[in-house]
Structure 1
Amino acid sequence: MATNTSSATTHTTAAQDAWTAYQGLRAQLTGRINRELARSTGLSEPDYEVLLALTEAKQQTLRSLELRCGLDWEKSRLSHQLRRMEERGLLSRDNCATDSRSVDIRLTDAGKTAFAAARLCHEAAVERYFASALSEEQLASFAAASTAILARLDQPVHGAH
């Protein structure tokens, strides 16, 4: 019995150490990239996420629900973000022709231009702070671990409240 307890404790300690390291990494990396984007392009990381989603969408347009689900954001967060971006001319919001309850979010020419500059800055920062810090083997392990966690998050949670 002592072996099982010891093994569980070791795994719990390893998991806690990994989680703590991840939390520190996430906070610092996101903060660093966000500051560089803002300084270089005037865009925030959330701006970049919205513009990326629109850039990759068919006809560079998404319904608001598709965008919200794709980003995994709360409705109010997306609404405020879109309002600020629309005021800056990065996107437009139009009534959906096929669904009166929905809004189509479109990338504008100004949004395309801003995203092109931001993409270069973002890719350089990811290379500098993330990719170049790891070996090819570490990158593959990191990708595999991330994929496993994402797959777990896609599974239904039973008994959770």
Structure 2
Amino acid sequence: MGEQGAVRWLTADEQRAWRGFVRLHERLGGRLGRMLQSESNVSPADFAVLVNLTDVPDGRQRYQDLARALEWEKSRMSHHIARMAGRGMVVREECPEDGRGAFVVITDVGRAAVEAAAPRHVEAVRELFMDHVTPAELRVLTEISERVIGKLDETRS
């Protein structure tokens, strides 16, 4: 961040780019979220949890690691996982090595939900985003995203 008291205001070009990026993120996220909910009865938060769990061995992840991956606070994580467990999508398992730790584990119901939602979600990502960027733009976006995410990971508190 800048020096104490010295605000580094955005230039007109920076502000236009930033606001466009924020609008894109909000609109795309909103559209994809509404589509998931209406067509698959899976909320965007459910989908994010389920995708993270299908990306790890055995479909299990420590609560704290999943919360960190999703950038969720402990209370949000706890409440959301409890709701998903109530619908049979995940279960909570205590960690035998660490009495304080616990795992979130995807169930067959959760796997079925993400497998049913994923094809339409990917189709929508293509229709709403991928079909409107060139391969060169995609490479630049990937480079930017990976660089900024790397910096955010370095400075994670």
Same fold (TM over 0.5): yes
Aligned position for 1:97: 96
Residue deviations 1:39-92, cap 9 Å, x none? 111001110110011111111111111111121211011111101101110000
- Quote how far apart the aligned CAs of 1:155 are: 3.4
Q: How many residues align?
A: 149
Map 1:1-161 → 2, pairs under 5 A? 12-156=11-155
Residue deviations 1:105-129, cap 9 Å, x none? 1110000100101111211111111
**In structure 2, how many angstroms separate the alpha carbons of the residues matched to 1:39 and 1:76?**
26
- Quote how far apart the aligned CAs of 1:152 are: 2.5
Structural RMSD (CA): 1.7
Q: Please list every run of 5 or more consecutive structure 2 residues that lacks an aligned counterpart in the other structure.
A: 1-7
Q: Percent identity?
A: 32
Q: Which runs of 4+ in 1 moved over 3 A?
A: none
The one-letter amino acid of 2:94's match is: N
TM value normalised by structure 1: 0.87
- Quote how far apart the aligned CAs of 1:148 are: 2.1
**In structure 2, how many angstroms separate the alpha carbons of the residues matched to 1:33 and 1:127?**
11
**In structure 1, how many angstroms separate the alpha carbons of the residues matched to 2:91 and 2:154?**
35
Structure showing greater Rg: 1
